[in-house]
Amino acid sequence: MTSLTITPGGPLRGTISVPGDKSITHRAVILTALANGVSTVADYCRGEDCLNTMRAFQALGIRIDESVEELRVYGKGLWGLTEPNGPIDCGNSGTGIRLLTGLLAGQDFFTVLTGDESIRRRPMGRIVKPLREMGATIAGRKGGELAPLAVVGSRLRAIAYASPVASAQIKSALLLSALFAEGTTRITEPRLSRDHTERLFQFFGIALRREGATLLLDGRPSVGWNAAPRLVVPGDFSAAAFFIVGATIVPGSDVTIQQVGINPTRTGLLEIMTRMGADIQLLNRREEAGEPIADIRVKSSRLRGVAVGPDLIPKTIDEFPILSVAAAVAEGQTTISGAEELRVKESDRIATMSAELRAMGAQIAENHDGMIVQGLGTTEDNGRLQATHGRSHGDHRVAMSLAIAGLTASASTAIDETACIETSFPTFHRTLLELLTERR
C-alpha cells in the first residue's frame, strides 16, 4: 500500500483490537532469546520493525517459530548467541538497532548492524558513547554517530551513567550491555522514560534494583534465567492512540479498543486528552506479564486547548503526531514544549506535522522544541480541516495521523508514501474500515 485515500463521513463505531505492543515485543524477543529453554510469546506485534528483530536473532543462531498468534523462541542462555554470517538489517527500527548494539557489545564476536535510509540518519552516538565508556569497541560513520555500526564484542566493565535525555532506548541498550559487564552498572535518567525493560527484567527474575531515579544492575549473572511458558503481549497503546483521537474528534463516535497496555510511562496522551475534555473510560483492568491492561472506551466530545510541558513528553513521545491532530481541531490554543527529541525520530515530527496540518488549514506555529496550535474548534467550520494531498515523509505515525485528520476534512484526503505503516500497524486501514462499516 503506497497511498491511502480517506473519505470523511459518519461516526466511528464498534469494538476493535490493535496489534501487540511493539516496544514490548522487541524486548520479549531479546529476553526470551537469552533465556534458558523454550518460551512462548503470545499476541506479539507482526509489524516489520519487530519482524526485523526476530530475523536478527535468527541470524544470531536463535530458532524462532512463528505463527499468527504466537512465537516460540528457543533460548540459548546469556552466552548462546553466535556470530552472524553477514550484516544484520534492522530496517526502520531505532529500538531494534540500539538495543542490539547494547546487547552485542558484550558478546565475543563481530557484528555489523545497519538499517534503512531513515535509520542511517538517526543519532547513534547517544548509545555508542556510554558503551565505549564500558569498554565496547564500536565503529560507525562520523565517529560512531551514524549507522552502519560495526560492533566487536569486548569484555565490558560497569559504569555510572547519567543520561542527558529521558530515553527508553538508551536505558535499555545500557541495561542489556550491563548484563555482560563486570560490576554494578548505574543508570540515571532526568525523567522516567517507558519502563517495559524493567518490568520484563522483573518478570524473568533478573535482579534489577531502583534507588530513586537510578537503576542498578549487577553484571555477569552465573545462571541467567528460565524461559517463560507463556508471555502475553498487551495491545499497543501507541496504535490505540489513533482511534482514541479519531473517536473523540469525529462526532457521534463510540469505540472500544480491547486489551490495551496502559503502562503509566506510556499513557501521557490519556492525561492530556482527559484535560482537553475527552470522554475516555478504562474498563476491565487487569495485568499480564507485569504490564497493566484495560479495554478503552472512547466517545466523541469537544476538545479545548491545553499546555503540554516537558514532564509529559517522555510519556507521549510516540503520540505527538496524533496529539497535534487533536490540537488542530480543538477550541483554543494548545502549546507543546520540551519535545525537541521529536526532531530525530523517523522524520522531524515537529516540522512534518506542522507542514502537513497547515496544508489542511490548521493554524500552527513551529518552535524548536514543539509547537503552538490555534485550534479550529471555534471557527466557522467548527474544527473541520481541509482536504489535501499529503505525504507521510516515510514516517508510519505521520501517515496514520494524517489518515485520522482526514476523517474531519471537507472532502477526501489522499496520503502518499503509506507503505511505512507496515512497520508497526499492518492492519491499520482494515481496522479503520471496520469502524466505518459498523456505522452503516
pLDDT the model gives residue 381: 61
169 and 243 share one domain: no
Block means of pLDDT (10 residues each) for the chain, length 440 residues?
87 98 98 98 97 99 97 98 98 97 97 97 97 98 98 97 96 98 97 97 96 96 90 98 98 98 98 98 96 98 97 95 98 97 92 97 96 87 84 96 96 96 95 79
Please say whether the dihedral angle defined by the alpha carbons of residues 366, 275, 320 and 380, taken in this order, is positive or negative: negative
Q: Verify that 33 and 181 share a domain, yes or no.
A: yes
Alpha-carbon distance of 66 to 63, in angstroms, equals 10
Per this entry, what is the length of the chain? 440
Rounded to whole angstroms, how far apart are CA atoms 436 and 253? Answer: 10
* 125 and 264 housed in the same domain: no
In terms of C-beta density within 10 A (0-12 exposed, 13-18 middle, 19 or more buried), how is residue 411 classed? exposed
Cα distance from N-terminal residue to C-terminal residue, the chain:
25
Same domain? 406 vs 354: yes
Q: Give the pLDDT score at 440.
A: 44
Query: 197 and 290: one domain?
Result: no
Residues 267 and 203 occupy one common structural domain: no
Cα–Cα distance for residue pair 242/244, rounded to 1 Å: 6
For residues 179 and 124, membership in a common domain is answered with yes
Phi/psi for 372 (5° steps) reads -120, 125
Find, among 424, 1, 10, 43, the residue nearest to 246 by Cα. Answer: 10
Are residues 182 and 52 part of one domain? Answer: yes
- Residues 32 and 87 occupy one common structural domain: yes
The CA angle 78-82-84, to the nearest 5 degrees, is 135
Closest CA to 362 of 313, 410, 324, 318: 324
- H-type alpha helices, 94-167: 94-104, 125-133, 141-144
Of the candidates 189, 205, 231, which is a domain's last residue? 231
**Domain boundary at 183, 202, 231, which?**
231
CATH of residue 388: 3.65.10.10
Give the residue numbers marked as catalytic: 318
Q: What is the 3-state secondary structure (H, E, C) of 261-324?
A: ECCCCCCHHHHHHHHHCCEEEEEEEEEECCEEEEEEEEECCCCECCEECHHHHHHCCCCHHHHH
Structure-block grid coordinates of residue 240: 490505540
* Same-domain status, 274 and 227: no
Distance of CA 62 to the CA centre of its chain: 24
Residue 275: is it exposed, middle or buried by C-beta count within 10 angstroms (0-12/13-18/19+)?
A: middle
Domain's final residue, options 181, 197, 231: 231
Contact 239, 319 (CB under 8 A): no
Q: What pLDDT sits at residue 378?
A: 72
The domain in which residue 310 lies consists of 3-20+234-438
Query: Based on the domain organization, do 349 and 283 belong to the same domain?
Result: yes
Distance between CA 334 and CA 330 in Å, rounded?
8
158 sits in the region (left: phi over 0; alpha: psi -120 to 50; else beta) called: beta
Answer yes or no: do 318 and 187 share one domain: no
**Per-residue pLDDT at 222:** 76
Residue-level pLDDT at 155: 95
Residue 221 has, within 13 A of its CA and on its CB side, a CA count of 20
Looking at residue 126, its amino acid is R
What total number of domains does the chain contain?
2
DSSP letter for 24, please. H
